Each structure stands twice: as C-alpha cells, then as structure tokens.
Amino acid sequence: MSRATRAGGSRGGGTPQGERLQNSPTYPRIVEIVTGSGITQAELGEAVGASLRTVQNWARGDATPKGVKVTRLLDLSYLVEQLQAAYTEEGIGIWLHSRNRNLGGSRPIDLIVGGQLDEVLEEAERVAGAM
C-alpha cells in the first residue's frame, strides 16, 4: 500500500497527497537546488558553517541541518530562487563566480562564504527585478 493510500488518498482539488509530498521541500532537495546552481558542496559548507561531509550527509538525507545552518541554507535557497528569475543554472554559476561591479568588484560567492549574504541577496533581487 502506498503512503498516499495509507494517508487517505487524494484530498480536495484533485491532487493526490503523494504528489504533494513529492513536491514538498526536503533538505536533500534544497541542497540539490543550491548545488545545482553552481555552488559546490564545499562552498555550501563554508557558507553555512558546516563541513563538506556534513553537507554530503544532508544531500543523502542521512542528516538534517540544525540551528543557524538551517537559516543559512534556506537563505541560499532563496538566493538561487531569485537568480532563477534572470538566469539559467549555468548563468547562475557564472554570476556567482564572476566579479560584480555592484558588489565593489567582489565575487558574490566570496561574499557569501565571508558571511555577507545580505549584500548578495540585495544584488540578486535587483537583477531579478530588472528582468
């Protein structure tokens, strides 16, 4: 018996519960989205204050982030979401690793790893709003 059937099948709106569960956010999916945008697992670890092995465990679903690491991971996910409004996945990776005149000539990824995510988010929101 499937999880959706055990849980009562479909509910209003015609969308099976199993489909909703499949589309719900999970930490492995969030790690996949962030790393699929050109941020390596090592960079992700540096940005959230976790080791590479810890990020690999999150990606496999063997562990979940805790404390401030959750907030930082979700903030990075939001950053990627903003950039997806303007760029392809490849373009996001290029944007993150290229010098940016609006960030004082710094590379966004360097600022993110250095704890200055808010400035990068501001620029990403500006870029996304311009599209």
7 lies in a domain? no
Boundaries of domain holding 103: 13-129
Between 58 and 10, the more confident residue is 58
CA separation for the pair 109, 120 (Å, rounded): 8
Answer yes or no: is pLDDT of 2 > 80: no
CA separation for the pair 117, 113 (Å, rounded): 8
3 lies in a domain? no
5 lies in a domain? no
Query: What confidence tens digit (pLDDT) does each residue in 26-82 have?
Result: 999 999 999 999 999 999 999 999 999 999 999 999 999 999 999 999 999 999 999
Between 12 and 121, the more confident residue is 121
Burial class (CB in 10 A: 0-12, 13-18, 19+), 103: middle
Token pair 């993150």: residue: 96
Q: Which of 62, 100, 58, 53 is nearest to 76 (CA)?
A: 58
Instruction: Domain count for the chain, please give it.
Output: 1
Q: Which of 90, 96, 94 is nearest to 124 (CA)?
A: 96
Question: How many C-beta neighbours within 10 Å does residue 43 have?
Answer: 21
